């Protein structure tokens, strides 16, 4: 058993929009309060979940098996790859981490992690296993204010703490495209680290319509809105105990990451070795 942080997510209207009463009909209107235990997806990840959710509500008879569900989910992803509208979140969102305005890179999707897993069990997308990052025992360090591509002045986080379930800190990462997200899900890439902090605020500019998902519940939020995510309380969670043993898959991945980080093998060789290991394990 260990303690996990329960967070509250509050949506509120930033300021009344002139002659636009329809803003109050957003899916998550002013005053909405939700709980978060796992992670929040914004943009790409949430849009995929929302499309899948809407299709399932319209045609429930299509969703009868796990294999079929995965096929449909993949098909929706391919539709987005070839015909989907690309929305760069840096142009319609402002992200504040512990009251500091953060410069967003060019990403289509953002994940705010409260735990170390994402997307049905994918572990360590924060990439704690890399040796190229200087981790701190103290608070994360932010650069001085600089101008980003969107001409907003903000800050860039330049050092981080290791990810933990119970330290009260959230990790924010981004995906540049649907291909980047797919490569992350298969272990071939890592997302972009954006920031890390205890309190996260997302400000959505007026006129935007942004998909969100919180612990698997997808919805859309209209612009002129602010989302504030804060710690509520610590709750006890039961987890499977390995009695001091690390799964063999985890050990192999750590060795491969170490070898690639030391330039003993390249990315292609890592993929070949990992593929052969998985084949051998399945025999």
Under the banding of pLDDT at 50, 70 and 90, the label for residue 211 is: very high
Q: Mean pLDDT across the stretch 10-17?
A: 74
Please report how many Cα atoms fall inside a 13 Å half-sphere around the Cα of residue 94, on the Cβ side.
17
* Alpha-helical regions (H) of 95-177: none
Cα 66 to Cα 69, 187, 213, distances in angstroms: 5, 21, 21
Distance separating alpha carbons of residues 255 and 216, to the nearest angstrom: 32
pTM for this entry:
0.72
For residue 115, pLDDT over 60 is answered with yes
Better pLDDT: 152 or 121: 121
Q: What's the confidence (pLDDT) of residue 172?
A: 95
Better pLDDT: 73 or 140: 73
Q: Please list the helix, strand and coil fractions of the chain in percent, rounded to the nearest 5, in that order.
A: 30, 30, 40
Cα 119 to Cα 38, 71, 111, 176, distances in angstroms: 10, 16, 10, 17
CB 212 within 8 A of CB 47: no
**pLDDT tens profile 163-189:** 887 778 899 999 998 889 888 888 888
Q: What is the mean pLDDT of the chain?
A: 78
For residue 203, pLDDT over 80 is answered with yes
For residue 146, pLDDT over 70 is answered with no
**pLDDT tens profile 34-67:** 999 889 999 988 988 888 888 888 888 888 888 8
SS3 for 26-80 is CCCCCCCEEEECCEEEEEHHHHHHHHHHHHHHHCHHHCCCHHHHHHHHHHHHHHH
**pLDDT tens profile 95-107:** 999 999 999 999 9
Tell me which of 2.60.200.40, 3.40.190.10, 3.30.70.100, 3.40.140.10 is the CATH number of domain 2-239.
2.60.200.40
CB 53 within 8 A of CB 73: no
b (16+ CB within 10 A) / e for 67-100: eeeeebeeebbeebeeebeebbbbebbbbbbbeb
Q: What's the confidence (pLDDT) of residue 173?
A: 94
Distance separating alpha carbons of residues 184 and 125, to the nearest angstrom: 8
- CB proximity list for 177: less than 8 A, separation 6 or greater: 44, 86, 108
Domain extents for the chain?
A: 2-239, 241-283
**CA distance between the termini of the chain:** 34
- CB proximity list for 153: less than 8 A, separation 6 or greater: 101, 145, 146, 147
Better pLDDT: 231 or 113: 113
Better pLDDT: 275 or 11: 11
Least confident of 17-26, 58-67, 213-222: 17-26
CB 166 within 8 A of CB 234: yes
- CB proximity list for 91: less than 8 A, separation 6 or greater: 150
Task: Measure the CA angle with vertex 95, ends 94 and 99; round to 5°.
Answer: 120
Under the banding of pLDDT at 50, 70 and 90, the label for residue 144 is: low
Least confident of 79-88, 95-104, 190-199, 239-248: 239-248
pLDDT above 70 coverage of the chain, percent:
76
Which of 169-178, 184-193, 256-265, 273-282: highest mean pLDDT? Answer: 169-178
């Amino acid at each position: 058993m260990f303690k996990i942080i329960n967070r509250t997510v509050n949506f509120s209207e930033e300021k009344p929009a002139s002659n636009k009463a329809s803003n109050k009909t957003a899916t998550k209107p002013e005053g909405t309060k939700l709980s978060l235990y796992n992670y929040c997806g914004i943009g790409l990840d949430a849009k995929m979940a929302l499309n899948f959710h809407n299709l399932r509500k319209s045609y429930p008879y299509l969703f009868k098996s796990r294999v079929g569900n995965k096929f449909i989910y993949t098909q929706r992803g391919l539709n987005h790859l070839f015909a989907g509208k690309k929305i760069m979140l840096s142009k319609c969102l402002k992200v504040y981490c512990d009251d500091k305005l953060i410069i967003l890179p060019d990403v289509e999707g953002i994940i705010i992690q409260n735990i170390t897993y994402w997307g049905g069990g994918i572990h360590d997308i924060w990439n704690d296993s890399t040796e190229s990052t200087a981790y701190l025992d103290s608070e994360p360090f932010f650069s001085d204010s600089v101008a980003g591509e969107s001409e907003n002045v903000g800050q860039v986080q330049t050092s981080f703490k290791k990810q933990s379930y119970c330290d009260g800190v959230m990790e924010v990462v981004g995906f540049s495209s649907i291909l980047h997200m797919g490569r992350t899900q298969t272990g071939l890439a890592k997302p972009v680290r954006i920031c890390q902090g205890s309190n996260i605020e997302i400000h959505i500019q007026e006129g935007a319509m942004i998909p969100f998902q919180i612990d698997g519940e997808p919805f859309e939020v209209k612009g002129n809105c602010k989302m504030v995510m804060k710690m509520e309380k610590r709750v006890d969670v039961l987890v499977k105990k390995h009695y001091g043993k690390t799964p063999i898959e985890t050990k192999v991945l750590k060795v491969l990451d170490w070898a690639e980080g030391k330039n003993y093998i390249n990315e292609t060789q890592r993929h070949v070795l990992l593929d052969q290991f998985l084949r051998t394990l399945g025999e």
